[in-house]
Amino acid sequence: MRFLQVIQAVAPARRRWRALAAALLLAPLAAQAAEPVRHIGIYVEPFYRAADAPNKAPQVSVGQTFNGLLASTRREDILAARDLITGNPSKITPMTLMVLAIRFYDVGLRDDAVFWFYAAKDRYLTFADVVDINMPQLADANSAIGSFAALAGPVINGYAFCDLANQKAIRAKALDWVEANTYEVMFLPQLAARTGDRKAALALALRNARANAEKERAYFDDPRNVESFFATRKKNEADVKFCWR
């Protein structure tokens, strides 16, 4: 069934994905030539294949409703895709949100990129706390979300952490959006639940997500962590790469 084909692409193993997400948040960026990163040039087959230049259209395959808009190089089309998503968000996959985040980055709306990257992450993680993603139908699901996080995460977080206060605010808003816009796919009876009460599992997942977000914030409440973090960014010339205007 089509919904299972979609879910297979968005539900990697929970523990591996959580560890990866945490590592991407705080890990130093690999040393690269110090020049502004204006384009996220990644492939996550079959959903996204970046063009070889920022002014060219990528290949997008997340659903006919969104493919054309998200493949556009026009900022107004990316905004139109966002409006379609926010107008009826209940079954929008985390992959679609990841592609939206990438395209926002590519057209220069990087606060929006951060928001949707975090929303995609939290939508997936709450889903994974409700549904048994070890069921056979979901066995091949690891690559898509894990790849998006591994490949796009360092760039989007590289920008996000230019301004800690702004990052904290966007992080909170994204989680609020996830809580206010339930991913209804997790309630489909064809997908086995991890517990007997899916609504209770979702409520617990949201509490856990908020606790994890608070841990992220608390890390940067320690001036020593802030000093170390920005020292690493300076060493890696992250401000040159990601804090351009």
3-state secondary structure at position 200: helix
Question: Does the bond joining 46 to the residue before it have cis omega, within 30 degrees of 0?
Answer: yes
Name the residue type at position 45. E
CA nearest neighbour of 126 among 187, 52, 190: 187
pTM of the model: 0.86
Domain count, the chain: 1
31, 233 contact by CB (below 8 A): no
Q: Which domain holds residue 73?
A: 2-26+39-239
Would the pLDDT of 138 be above 80? Answer: no
Q: Quote the distance between the C-alpha of residue 242 and its chain's center.
A: 17
Which H or E run contains 9? none
Name the residue type at position 188. L
Whether 32 is in a domain gets the answer no
What phi and psi values does residue 163 have, to the nearest 5 degrees? -135, 105
Residues 18-28 pLDDT 10s: 545 444 444 44
Whether 33 is in a domain gets the answer no
pLDDT of res. 30: 46
Q: How confident is the model at residue 7 (pLDDT cuts 50, 70, 90)?
A: very low
Q: How confident is the model at residue 9 (pLDDT cuts 50, 70, 90)?
A: very low
Query: Three-state SS string across 28-76, please?
Result: CCCCCCCCCCCCCCCEECCCEECCCCCCCCCEECCCHHHHHHHCCCCHH
Which alpha helices (DSSP H) does the chain contain, by range? 2-8, 14-26, 64-70, 75-87, 94-106, 110-130, 142-160, 164-180, 198-219, 223-235, 238-242
Whether 150 is in a domain gets the answer yes
Whether 109 is in a domain gets the answer yes
The DSSP output letter for 184 is G
Over range 108-119, report the average pLDDT: 98
Whether 244 is in a domain gets the answer no
Q: Which residue has the higher pLDDT, 5 or 75?
A: 75
3-state secondary structure at position 186: helix
Whether 34 is in a domain gets the answer no
Mean residue pLDDT of the chain comes to 87
Whether 58 is in a domain gets the answer yes
